[in-house]
Amino acid sequence: MKIASTTADFESYVEKRSDVCEILPMMAASGFKHIDLNMYKAHADGSPLREDGWEKWVYDIADTAARLGLDFVQAHSSDSVYDEGEKKDYLTSLIKRELEVCRMLGIPTMTVHGISKKDGERGEFMERNKKFYLDLLETAEKTGVIVDTENTCHKNAPTYFLFEADDMNELVEKVNHPLFGVCWDVGHAHIDGIDQYKAITKLGKNLKAVHIHDNFGPHYFGADTHSAPYSGSISYDSIVKGLVDVGYKGYFTLEAYSIPMPKSFLGRDPLMLDGVVYDRLTDLPLEFKIRSENLMLDITRYMLASYDCLEN
Amino acid sequence: MKIATTTGDFCDYEKEYDISAILPLMKESGFKHVDVNLSGAFKPDSPLCGDGWKSWAYDIKNTGERLGMDFVQAHSSDTVYDRGEKRDYLTSMIERELEVCEILGVPGMVVHGICKKDGGREEFMEKNTELYRELLVTAEKTGVAIHTENTCHKNAPSYHLFEGEDMNELVERVDHPLFGAVWDIGHAHVEGVDQYKAIMTMGKNLRALHVHDNFGVADVHIQPYAGNLCYDAILNGLVDSGYKGYFTLEAFSMPSPQTFCFCNRKSFEKDGRVYNRLGMPPVSIKIRSERLMHDVAQFMLEAYDCYEE
């Protein structure tokens, strides 16, 4: 199994999240070779994916990766919305464009969150998402890119009814398309107290991608902190053993914040004192982040090597 | 300001009391100044419970000298609220720990106060004034200072030391030159305390620190920058108040210990077989992680021109 990490790891070290060409050398310096392209904010103001000429943005990324010897192996889309209408159409069209980005970069699989509404019901959720994903899969067929739906936890989204493996399998069966599968987020599952081995083995061939990160689970904190592996209480034996036993063919993809946890994520306030702002310590210099990422990579290598499934 | 860390950092790699084995790991991680963790000293397998405890302490002292490390802080075991045989025994252990500090040259030891469920604040203050004065008799003999520690309501709602003012009140009640405060910035963060104000309020009463991080919700003792604690408030406060103690980490760099109560990272059982290959990564990983934590702490102090080796 090969290890990947997300471009989001360094988003707080560049001016704009979309500065992927600047992020890639940082990931290379950290030791990563396989990249998960984060397009989660592709819909935000200033995103190059909203503009004409977005193809140049993609080609620049491809050139930079090729120069650095990196490859793109996974992606994360932006979100759509539940209600039908102009906004939904626009956001869905962006996700279709992101599938095209994946095709151009050689990315085989992209995670796309499902859509949910507050106080929605499970049956309606399944039907609405089946329709949503089938719409996207028309573009997936043209691009050859697999679309993965992702599990959540009750604390994050109580009416996003994809918590257990059975939920994921049900949606996969409803959609019933060879380019539709599952991304299993081990951190979300941990917050819901799910038996990870059982879930992974149930998902079996439906499992196309993983998101690896840590937290303190349901008992002590119950929040989705996306901490680095071994910064929380996840038991990795059940996960890696599960992946090995089901013959998982995807990447072991980190979606975790090594230190420093970005201040834009959970906040790290400066001190205001007598009208002066002190913010010398709200973030760490890049050299620390690279060391921290490299350490996270090596911990992950140890995890896979312990089960004789590490590939470079 | 000098950086220290606790021997507890390597508690899942060596036996808790085998401090002579832990010290080389700390040294390799870049630490020179050591906080001696004696929190489990009363447990039956602890060398502090046996006749050879002085020899144990001298072995540690010798190892520290050989490695060029010094002992700058300690953490005691706990005692209990109600008087009686158990309380006498546990108090005698803390007195022994003060003697260990004397042997090692540790200038000050953190000793938690005592509390009881649903206990009131005034009673808490009185009982702790009594406890600490009792311990200070041995502190005078050994020359080792005692530091009381703040907590957060989530950890112990009837342990009435939450704010800088609470710490000052107890220090004033005890009224002894060898008695002061250790400020646990992680506990204060869970409590939502204004750290700059608290540190300034304590002023000269502040003798030691416990530096660790969390998300402001639970006391998970993670390393700096793994949570969202504001360090500018801390450093400005320490500089502005003229703090003279160590910048002492009490934080779990990754991996956090498998045995830590908030972690309890379980092994996996299948078909009668136990899989525990991933409970704790090898010590080489831990040493790199500790070194990173040390260097981050150094960056923090250098950013405020107060780093000392």
Bridge partner residues of A196 (DSSP):
none
Close Cβ partners of A280 (under 8 Å, ≥ 6 residues apart): B232, B235, B303, B304
- The answer to whether the CB atoms of A295 and B232 lie below 8 A apart is no
Partner-chain contact A220 B262, CB within 8 Å:
yes
Q: Which residue is listed with tokens 């993670």?
A: B222
Q: What's the confidence (pLDDT) of residue B43?
A: 87
> Which chain A residue has the Cα nearest residue B233?
A271
Distance of alpha carbon A25 from alpha carbon A308, whole angstroms: 29
Q: Nearest by CB to A261, which of B225, B264, B295?
A: B225
pLDDT for res B266: 85
Distance CA B223, CA B204 (A): 27
**What are the pLDDT digits (tens) for A57-116?**
999 999 999 999 999 999 999 999 999 999 999 999 999 999 999 999 999 999 999 999
Angle ∠(A91,A94,A99) on CA atoms, nearest 5:
135
Tokens representing residue A137 in the block: 């899969």
Q: Do A259 and B226 touch (CB under 8 A)?
A: yes
| Chain B residue whose CA is closest to A219 | B262
Nearest to A220 among B218, B296, B303 (CB): B218
List the beta strands (DSSP E) in B84-205. Answer: 108-110, 145-149, 179-184
Q: Kindly report, residue by residue over A246-305, the tens digit of the pLDDT.
A: 999 999 999 999 999 998 888 899 999 999 999 999 999 999 999 999 999 999 999 999
**Residue A77's closest CA among A34, A47, A119?**
A47
Residues of A in contact with B222 (CB under 8 A): 227, 231
Contacts A295 to B, Cβ<8 Å: 254, 285, 288-289, 292
Interface confidence (ipTM) of the complex: 0.95
**B259 part of contact set with chain A, CB < 8 Å:** no
The Cα of A312 is separated from the nearest Cα of chain B by a number of Å equal to 19
Contact B226 A241 (CB under 8 A): no
Contact B217 A223 (CB under 8 A): yes
Answer whether A91's CB lies under 8 Å from A46's CB. no
CA distance A35 to chain B (A): 23
Give the CA dihedral B91, B94, B96, B98, nearest 10 degrees: -140
Contact A233 B262 (CB under 8 A): yes
Q: What is the pLDDT of residue B264?
A: 80
User: The whole model's pTM is what?
Assistant: 0.96
pLDDT in tens, A136-184: 999 999 999 999 999 999 999 999 999 999 999 999 999 999 999 999 9
Q: Looking at beta carbons, which residues of chain A come within 8 Å of B288?
A: 295, 298
Q: How far is B285 from A230, CA to CA, in rounded Å?
A: 11
The chain B residue lying nearest A257, using CA atoms, is B226
Chosen from B199, B211, B228, B252 to mutate, greatest number of chain A CBs within 10 A:
B228
In angstroms, the first-to-last Cα distance of chain B is 8
CB hemisphere CA count around B219 (13 angstroms) = 18
- pLDDT at residue A220 above 90? no
**Cβ–Cβ below 8 Å for B268 and A197:** yes
Interacting residues of A219 by C-beta distance below 8 A, sequence separation 6+: none
| Degrees to nearest 5, angle at CA B207 with B203 and B212 | 100
Using a CB-CB cut-off of 8 Å, the residues of chain B touching A263 are 228
Which residues of chain B lie closer than 8 angstroms to A216, CB-CB?
A: 218, 220, 262-263
Distance CA B73, CA B105 (A): 9
Task: Flag if A238 and B268 touch (Cβ within 8 Å).
Answer: yes
Q: How far is B217 from chain A (nearest CA, A)?
A: 7
Within 10 angstroms of residue A179's Cβ, the number of other Cβ atoms is 20
In B, which residues are within 8 Å of A197 by CB distance?
Answer: 268, 270
Chain A: closest CA distance from residue B187 (Å): 15
Q: What is the pLDDT of residue B262?
A: 80
pLDDT reported for residue A246: 98
A 224-283 residues inside an 8 A Cβ radius of B: 225, 227-238, 240-241, 259-261, 263, 266-271, 273, 278-282
B285 vs A302: CB contact, 8 Å cut-off?
Answer: yes
Cβ atoms of A112 and A77 within 8 Å: the answer is yes
Stretch 279-308 of chain A: residues touching chain B, C-beta under 8 Å: 279-282, 284-285, 288, 291-292, 295, 298-299, 302-303, 306-307
* Low-confidence stretches of chain B (pLDDT beneath 50): none
d(CA B132, nearest CA chain A) in Å: 32
Tell me the pLDDT band of A219, cut-offs 50, 70 and 90: confident
Chain A positions touching B259 (Cβ under 8 A) are none
Q: Which chain B residues are Cβ-neighbours of A279 within 8 angstroms?
A: 232
